Structure 1
């Protein structure tokens, strides 16, 4: 069953006094957002911060979806059909569907960062769309490599159209992302295109490491390399999204770098919580089978933290976590692995580290945004993804 995970940030950021004071101001906002708002559930998920993030995401979907759909519908033949299905706009037979294209967290970060730095979010819509296209390129490819059968509560594209068409559709989305920036007349377009291209290389390197780790002996995997892999796979694109928003606002190099660091730290917090959900999450909420990460022996962050912890539970997990299984392990076998991870401290470590990463994110945000209140949208989005985990 899902255990509600909420990252409380208590550590004060380090740095110059002015930055500390601003970090404290943002921190107080984070604590305020955790207080239940009107009609909030007992788990705190419907407080003011979540409501603000939900509103931001809705505005983002309204702004980005038309450009996103134009980019997808411009694709030829089968590529268009696969992409429309992946985004939830069509059924497998090509008839219209009422599905959604995801939460739009990454494009929301682009627009929120542009707004926070005094830019015009409507001028950054192409950049936001490019980031969302890039994100979905990675999802299509990840599903093939991980052999995930479901996403967003429906069969994944490769299970419907085959590996080749799913991979090629992903390639086409990535090309459309670069095309959007190349054709954008905004002065930041070229710098944004270069930054997004570098991010894609980092994403691919992170995914390559992730795949390689699955084949490695559990005793040979280190926490340091797993954290680096997670930052490349997840933190890089969230950081890039924030940086692109800064570029489109005309921000300086220091502010753009701080925005990138903010997104990376928030992304790593997101990945930590997502890894927790990948082991203990409720399939009814995640849209994925329970224990799927354990079945393929994924070296997720809670697992690696447990493996290197030492003690009887870590030894038991090392024995259980050998080569990838058949994918047909019983619920009892998968539950034994999950219990070993938890007994060895992997779950608690991941939740604590997520809080630490959010503290780092808050500090970086205080370096990037000169107007305190302007940071609220970015902070609300960071809080939202780490509360939800995916």
Structure 2
């Protein structure tokens, strides 16, 4: 995305690195308990190894959800270590969801290299995703049987239900028309994004706080903040899916337009006056060759789709920040959270 995207403060790479380093041993231990072949696929999906198990030679990802869980625990007045089980659980769930998303969407690349289903096959990738799903719940449930731990398990399962709901809506959107009474509305889209992306980000923050013994109202505020962040995060992903640099996204430019995905910039543009040319182009997949997708991207931008999506992302970031301000949080980790949340939506960290 260009510099005209979300103008937010620089991310806190040191915070992300600190949290990844804190969580890494527990994450490695959890994966190590899987069947060796499944463990290798899990390691590949997490960026820890290459095909065959050789050590990875590229980035292992930012570890955003890990950091949110650790910072959630610290912001609630606990230690970062208290949030580690939650961090492992949400990282495993996130990776599981990506494995299955890539299969459902037919995406051949993930972080600039073959997606797991391309590297190992569709069946093995489904199996690895199932294993990560089960391992996430087991990791969280295996802790001490306290009231806070029980609440954390319930929170994770609720987030999983919402994630599936959001993914179902996203898949169903593909069969709905671009215009007319059955078209996908902006409100429907944002509800989908909250479930598909926001539920797990909110869960990460809330799990850390719950495992650190935070009051219920604090966990609720953090969950809501993470859900708003998730909508902004998904909008930024939509913008990258149309105008992103493949060196950042690891995917071809204009990929979402080629696939006919119902993304927010396009939906905003279709609600603007003078969109018939765009609607006609989108309704004819055969016209979406290299020239067609460039034309579609230009029409979306001209109709205000890019600017409108950015406004919505900023609105959700402001809502997340307001929720953090109302919660009773420890000052230093709260400030780290604000900086991290602000940086995440424009996806350049």
Query: Offset of 1:100 from its aligned partner?
Result: 3.4
Structure 2 CA distance for partners of 1:233 and 1:5, relative to 1, 3 Å = farther
Contact 2:233 2:344 in 1 (8 A): yes
Q: The residue matched to 1:218 in structure 2 has which SS?
A: coil
SS at the partner of 2:174?
helix
Q: In the aligned structure 1, how far is the partner of 2:170 from the partner of 2:156?
A: 21
State the distance in 2 between where 1:300 and 1:389 align: 20
The answer to whether the Cα contact below 8 Å between 1:78 and 1:165 also exists between their aligned partners in 2 is no
Separation in 2 of the partners of 1:207 and 1:275?
Answer: 15
RMSD: 1.8
**TM-score of the aligned structures, taking structure 1 as reference length:** 0.84
How many Å apart are 1:373 and its aligned residue? Answer: 4.2
Counterpart position of 2:205: 242
Once the 2 structures are TM-superposed, how far is the Cα of residue 329 of structure 1 from its aligned partner? 4.4
Question: Which residue of 1 is the match for residue 171 of structure 2?
Answer: 211
1:353 maps to which residue? 312
2:240 corresponding residue in structure 1? 277
Alpha-carbon distance between aligned partners in 2 of 1:162 and 1:277, rounded to the nearest angstrom: 27
- Is residue 267 of structure 2 the alignment partner of residue 308 of structure 1? no
Which range moves more in the overlay, 184-193 or 289-298? 184-193
More off after superposition, 368-377 vs 140-149: 368-377
Secondary structure at 1:257 match in 2? helix
Instruction: Tell me which residue corresponds to 1:3.
Output: 2
- Which position in structure 1 is the counterpart of 2:157? 197
Matched, 1:294 2:257: yes
Offset of 1:81 from its aligned partner? 2.4
> Paired residue for 2:228, among 258, 262, 265?
265
CA distance, structure 2, for counterparts of residue 371 and residue 97 of structure 1: 36
Does 2:279 align with 1:318?
A: yes
SS state at 1:388 partner: coil
Question: What is the aligned counterpart of 1:80 among 36, 39, 63?
Answer: 39
Which ranges in structure 1 are unaligned for 5 or more consecutive residues?
9-32, 35-44
The answer to whether the 8 Å contact 1:214/1:296 transfers is no
16, 33, 58: which one aligns with 1:99: 58
Contact 1:87 1:99 in 2 (8 A): no
Residue 285 of structure 1, CA deviation? 1.6
Cα distance per residue 1:88-142 (max 9 Å; x no partner) = 2222233332333311111101111111110111122111111100110101011
How far did 1:322 drift?
A: 2.0
Q: 1:129 aligns with which of 71, 85, 88?
A: 88
* 1:255 aligned onto 2:218: yes
TM-score (norm 2): 0.94
Deviations 1:145-171 (A, max 9, x none): 111111111110011111111111011
Corresponding position: 1:155 with 2:140: no
Matched, 1:386 2:345: yes
Deviation for aligned residue 1:369: 2.8
1:276 Cα deviation from its structure 2 partner: 0.7
1:13-28 map, 5 Å: none
Following superposition, the deviation at residue 7 of structure 1 comes to 3.4
Q: CA deviation at 1:372?
A: 4.1
1:20 corresponds in structure 2 to none
CA contact 2:72–2:83 (8 Å) conserved in 1: no
Change (3 A) 1:256 1:214: same
In structure 2, list runs of 5 or more residues that go unmatched: none
Write the deviation string for residues 348-384 of structure 1: whole angstroms up to 9, x where unpaired.
0011111111110111001113444441111111012
Listed one character per residue, the Cα deviations across residues 55-105 of structure 1 (whole Å, up to 9, x for unaligned) are 111011111111112222221143222212212222223333233331111
Aligned residues: 345
Deviation at 1:206, TM superposition (A): 0.3
CA deviations on 1:314-372 (whole Å, 9 max, x unpaired) are 2112111127x47x943211111111111111100011111111110111001113444
1-side partners of 2:45 and 2:31: how far apart?
A: 10
SS of equivalent to 2:60: coil
